[in-house]
């Protein structure tokens, strides 16, 4: 398939690499950021442009990988009659592209993608199209890069999934960030926690998270909790979260 990618950030880079590896041809990468676009164009041996007026209009499919709020801005001035156009956002309706073409849709990767990671992890893909031609094309593209990890999902289901994704990935990572800052300030090595982080995540392959909750909150170890809160007096953000999560665990989970 001949593909144009709009945007040159994390998703553009990772999907582009996967498309290339699956044998598709990226005929152009177009982005307001000339330097990241030309770096990816060099990597993929294709052409780049940084003004939408230079958009190649001969491709089969257009993937818009820009921040959620920018998709509408781009769609406003884009007209690609007869072409298939999809964005990659979990939380944006496909209808944002309705003025661009009759064949619009969403191609959402449910994974945390970073352009620096060359070996990309398993990436489940959720697609939807405005019509059967678009749906079938996006489904086949998805199968070509993520075989066995492809699901058709409407906007509501995708947005609900996106909320869960933010909780399990973005919020968890923010906790790691706070824990790392805490370790640094207290002269501890955050890396000593990596086996624990890994084991906690791996358990979910065989268990519901509810079944494997451990720690002072679920045990109602009041004295330990008080000692922890005292130790967190110079870490207000972490202390705040510690209190909220302890209360939530005690309210919602029974030991």
Q: Encode 116-163 in three state secondary structure.
A: CCCCCCCCCEEEEECCHHHHHHHHHHHHHHCCCCEEECCHHHHHHHHH
Residues whose CB is less than 8 angstroms from the CB of residue 155 and which lie 6 or more positions away in sequence, other chains included: 93, 94, 95, 106, 128
Binding mask 98-117 for ligand NAP (x = CB under 6 A): ----------xx--xx----
Q: Which of 2, 21, 51, 67 is the binder for ligand NAP (CB under 6 A)?
A: 67
Nearest to 63 by CA among 114, 118, 123, 14: 14
For position 39 contacting ligand NAP by CB under 6 A, the verdict is: no
* Of residues 33 and 200, the one with the C-beta less far from ligand NAP: 33
Rounded to the nearest whole angstrom, what is the least distance from the CB of residue 184 to ligand NAP in the complex?
26
Binding mask 1-30 for ligand NAP (x = CB under 6 A): ------xxxxxx------------------
DSSP codes of every residue in 57-91:
---SEEEE-S-HHHHHHHHHT---TTSEEEE--SS
For position 48 contacting ligand NAP by CB under 6 A, the verdict is: no
Rounded distance, CA 20 to CA 86, Å? 18
Helix (H, G, I), strand (E, B) or coil at 94: helix
Q: Which of 31, 48, 120, 134 is the binder for ligand NAP (CB under 6 A)?
A: 31
Rounded to the nearest whole angstrom, what is the least distance from the CB of residue 237 to ligand NAP in the complex?
24
Rounded distance, CA 177 to CA 155, Å? 31
For position 155 contacting ligand NAP by CB under 6 A, the verdict is: no
* Of residues 12 and 61, the one with the C-beta less far from ligand NAP: 12
Q: Which of 5, 86, 89, 161 is the binder for ligand NAP (CB under 6 A)?
A: 89
* Of residues 123 and 200, the one with the C-beta less far from ligand NAP: 123
Pick out residues in 191-230 that bind ligand NAP (CB under 6 A): none
Helix (H, G, I), strand (E, B) or coil at 92: coil
* Of residues 124 and 216, the one with the C-beta less far from ligand NAP: 124
The two beta strands, 125-129 and 103-109, are: antiparallel
Rounded distance, CA 95 to CA 106, Å? 10
For position 50 contacting ligand NAP by CB under 6 A, the verdict is: no
For position 120 contacting ligand NAP by CB under 6 A, the verdict is: no
What are the residues binding ligand NAP (CB under 6 A)?
7-12, 31-33, 36, 65-68, 70, 73-74, 88-90, 108-109, 112-113
């Amino acid at each position: 398939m001949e593909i144009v990618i709009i945007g040159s950030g994390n998703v553009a880079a990772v999907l582009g690499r996967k498309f290339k590896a699956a044998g598709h041809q990226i005929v152009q990468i177009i982005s307001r950021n000339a330097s990241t676009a030309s770096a990816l164009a060099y990597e993929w041996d294709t052409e780049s442009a940084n003004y939408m007026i230079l958009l190649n209009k001969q491709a089969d499919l257009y993937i818009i990988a820009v921040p959620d709020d920018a998709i509408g801005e781009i769609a406003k001035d884009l007209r690609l009659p007869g072409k298939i156009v999809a964005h990659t956002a979990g939380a944006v309706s496909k209808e944002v592209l309705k003025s661009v073409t009759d064949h619009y849709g969403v191609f959402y990767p449910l994974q945390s993608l970073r352009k620096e990671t060359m070996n990309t992890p398993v990436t489940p893909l959720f697609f939807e199209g405005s019509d059967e031609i678009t749906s079938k094309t996006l489904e086949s593209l998805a199968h070509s890069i993520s075989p066995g990890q492809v699901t058709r999902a409407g906007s509501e289901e995708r947005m609900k999934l996106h909320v869960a994704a933010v909780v399990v990935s973005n919020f968890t990572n923010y906790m790691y960030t706070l824990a790392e800052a805490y370790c640094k300030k207290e002269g501890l090595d955050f890396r000593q926690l990596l086996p624990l982080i890994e084991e906690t995540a791996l358990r979910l392959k065989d268990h519901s998270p509810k079944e494997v909750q451990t720690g002072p909150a679920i045990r109602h170890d009041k004295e330990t909790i008080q000692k922890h809160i005292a130790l967190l007096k110079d870490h207000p953000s972490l202390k705040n979260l510690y209190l909220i999560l302890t209360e939530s665990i005690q309210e919602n989970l029974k030991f």
